[in-house]
Amino acid sequence: MSAPPASERRLIEIIRRAVRRAPGVRVGIGDDCAVLEPDAGSLLLATTDLLIEDVHFRRRWATPNDVGWKSLAVNLSDIAAMGGRPRWALIALACPEAVGLDEAEAFYGGVQALASEHDVAIVGGDTAASPGGWIVNVTLLGEATLAPLTRSTARAGDVIAVTGTLGRSAAGLALLEATPAPRDVAAAAAADVTTAHLRPRPRTWEGQWLAAAGGVTSMIDLSDGLATDLGHLCEESGLGARVELGRLPVDAAVHAVARALDREALAWATGGGEDYELLFTCAPEAVERLAEGLAGTTGTRLSAVGEMTAAADGIRYLDAGGRAVPVRAGFEHFVTGRARA
C-alpha cells in the first residue's frame, strides 16, 4: 500500500487555486461531486471527449498548455454546435510518472485560459498515473434556453453554410508533422495554420447567435472534416447534399502550405477535420440576413457552400464545371480513425 504521492496532492492544490468559483457552482473541486445550480427552465447539454497522446496530439509539437487548451476547445465546439452556452467543465488527466508538476500546471493553465474566455468554470475532475502517454478527458456541461439545434432537422432545399474557413487545422497538422520542415512557408502562414491546429477557437458566440437568429434548421461542428460531418448531418436528417467545391472558403495561408508540401488544399478543406467551424443549414432566403448579422455581431464570415437534396441523390461534391468529384471523408489520426458516440 502506498499513499497518493505528494506530487498528486500538490497537483490538486494547484488545480484548486487555478480554477475559479463561478456563478452556479455551489460545491466545486474538493468533494465527491461538483454541485451545480442550473438556470431555472434551461435544458442541460453534456458532451465528453477523450484526447490521447500519439492519437490526437504529439508531445513533440504540442505543449502541455496547448493540450489543455485544445481538450476544452473540442468540447466547447460541441456545445456551440447546438447553440448552447458552455458553463461547467470536468477535467480528467493521466500523465506518465516522469511528467513534472510544472507541465501538469501548464496543462491546467491552458484549460483555464480558454475556460476564462468562454465563461466556463472548472468544477471537478480526476487525476491518475498513465503507464503510457498523456490521457485527457474533458466533459463539458452547458445550458440552452431555446430548443438546441440538432443534426437531424435539415430540410431538402436548405442552403448549407459554414463559418470561417476550412482546412487550416489540417494544414497546420501537416506542417507540424513534416520532416524536414519546408523552408518556403512564410512565418505568418505557418503560425496561422499551426495555431489553428494547436489552439482552435471554437465558435461559442457564433453558435448561440445562429441558434437565436431564427431560420437555422440544423447545425453540427466540423470536428471530423466537412465530408464526414456533412455525412452525419445528411444521415441524421435523412437527406442528401450537393456541395460546390469552388465555394469552400480556404485561406491563402492554407494554399501556401499546400504548395510548399505538395499537398491539396481542397482535400484539407473537405477531409481535414478539426477546424471546429460550424456547419449549418437554413432556408435560402435567410442566408444573407444571417451572414450580415453574424459578421456584424461576431466578425465571423459565413459562406454558403451548397444545398441539401433528397437522400436518393447522395452527397455530391461538384467542381467549377459542375462535375462530381470524389471526396474522401475522415479525419487523419496517427493510430486510426475516431468516431464519436
- Per CB under 8 A, which of residues 248..287 are in contact with a copy of itself? 267, 271-272
Nearer to a copy of itself, 141 or 253 (CB): 141
Give the Cβ contact number of residue 125 at 10 Å.
21
Nearer to a copy of itself, 17 or 289 (CB): 17
Q: Rule CB under 8 A: which of 150-179 touch a copy of itself?
A: 150-152
Give the position of cell 472548472.
122
Three-state secondary-structure class, residue 252: helix
Q: Is 99 near a copy of itself (CB under 8 A)?
A: no
Q: Is 21 near a copy of itself (CB under 8 A)?
A: no
Q: Is 135 near a copy of itself (CB under 8 A)?
A: yes
Q: Is 325 near a copy of itself (CB under 8 A)?
A: no
The grid coordinates of residue 240 equal 442528401
> Which uninterrupted H or E stretch holds 120?
none
To a copy of itself, the closest distance from the beta carbon of 254 in angstroms equals 15
Residues 63 and 104: their CA atoms lie apart, in Å, by 11
Selected from 116, 139, 195, 298, the binder of a copy of itself by CB under 8 A is: 139
Q: Is 54 near a copy of itself (CB under 8 A)?
A: yes
To a copy of itself, the closest distance from the beta carbon of 64 in angstroms equals 16
User: What are the Cα distances from residue 153, in Å, to 214, 215, 234, 243, 255?
Assistant: 14, 12, 9, 18, 34
To a copy of itself, the closest distance from the beta carbon of 46 in angstroms equals 5
Question: Residue 245 gets which letter from DSSP?
Answer: G
Find, among 87, 68, 35, the residue nearest to 204 by Cα.
87
Residues 323 and 24: their CA atoms lie apart, in Å, by 53
Q: Is 3 near a copy of itself (CB under 8 A)?
A: yes
Nearer to a copy of itself, 36 or 159 (CB): 36
Query: For residue 165, is it left (φ>0), alpha (ψ between -120 and 50) or beta?
Result: beta
Q: Is 245 near a copy of itself (CB under 8 A)?
A: no
Nearer to a copy of itself, 145 or 191 (CB): 145
Q: Is 88 near a copy of itself (CB under 8 A)?
A: yes
Q: Is 98 near a copy of itself (CB under 8 A)?
A: no
Spatial contact of 273 and 222, defined as CB atoms under 8 Å apart: yes
Q: Is 132 near a copy of itself (CB under 8 A)?
A: yes
